[in-house]
Amino acid sequence: MTTIKYLSICSGIESVGVAWNLLGFECLGLSEIDPFRSAVLNYRYPEVKNHGDFTKIEKEDLSSRPDILVGGTPCATFSVAGYRKGIKSSRGNLALEFILLAERLNPTWILWENVPGVLSSNEGKDFGSFLGGLAEFGYGFSYRVLDTQHIRTQRFPRAIPQRRRRVFVVGHSGADWKNPAKVLFDKISLREADKPVRRKSLQNTCQLERELKESDRMYWKKINRKGEFVTESEKNEVSNTLTATGRFSMPQGPIILKDEGPCENQNYSDDVERNDCLRILTPVECERLQGFPDNYTQIPYKGKPKEECPVSKRYEACGRAMSINVMEWLGTRIQKVHQGEI
């Protein structure tokens, strides 16, 4: 069996590597320019070269041709929560640079990720330009929106309790769309009767770092325009989307856990008793909501020990990452199609 080799660009903290290492894939290189995320890569993958700016990578920089080119170019320019400048912005234009890199390296597969807003950016013309570029350079493609909370794998048989919808484009050289479609559209996930049941508890599916007493209750809360807390305790308890700020996407708002006992430096609204502690999720809990091992983002940084790793950087790194269970599912599907098992 031939080892599948891949190049990861816009690597972040390398969700791909965590997901694909157990599949036996070989990483030919990484590409990240952010200082903290690059430090995480250097700490977790010291033997793999970080090429930095992926627009400057040439085929001579790699030991061999990659079977898969994978990455998620910056999404803020396409997000409905962002400025929506699309591919006209320098960050949005990186989506087209991704295609140019594929032309230079000629991988068999491409796997590209972005936010659902890319589908409507510039009335859909930006996404159309991206797909048109793939077709121009000889790639057949298929795309699908996948949600973290519904993707079950061998390592995550109950999925991960985070509501995180992302667009994934799979391309295959030879202008044939059938192989990409085989990857994204398996019969089981398309059958309504087999749709995964949404889990009712973060505590059951993704253990909280800090144990809650039986008398404690976990609430989903959102902040309205007046800044007051509104309790939604009857809804299914699945995390809203983690964002780069370490908070959660609107309109649902942040998720706040209610613990018993006093809590320092808390601002309370009139309807919250002062003997209750309201807290956001910890960095470890955010790592678990993306499928990472505990303290994956806790590293020595800028001459300080890992115990003093800046929390804000850890939140941001988790919020920008791709979910491990989704990447494991996609890697497994690509592997099976690549080897002719599907």
The catalytic residue positions are 75
Describe the crossing of helices 94-105 and 125-136 by its angle, rounded to 10 degrees: 10
Which DSSP string corresponds to 70-116? Answer: EE----TTTSTTS---GGGSTTTTHHHHHHHHHHHH--SEEEEEE-G
User: What residue type is assigned to position 102 of the chain?
Assistant: A
Q: Which of 18, 76, 68 is nearest to 322 (CA)?
A: 18
Residues 16, 8: contact at Cβ < 8 Å?
yes
Show Cβ contacts of residue 179 under 8 Å, excluding neighbours closer than 6 positions.
140, 172, 337
Report d(CA 177, CA 183) in Å as an integer. 10
* Tokens matching residue 328: 């494991």
3-state SS class at 54 = helix
* Tokens matching residue 109: 């597969």
Strand 229-231, strand 257-260: pairing: unpaired
Report d(CA 262, CA 4) in Å as an integer. 53
Report d(CA 301, CA 309) in Å as an integer. 6
Beta bridge partners of 50: 30
Dihedrals phi, psi of 178, to nearest 5 degrees: -65, -45
3-state SS class at 151 = coil
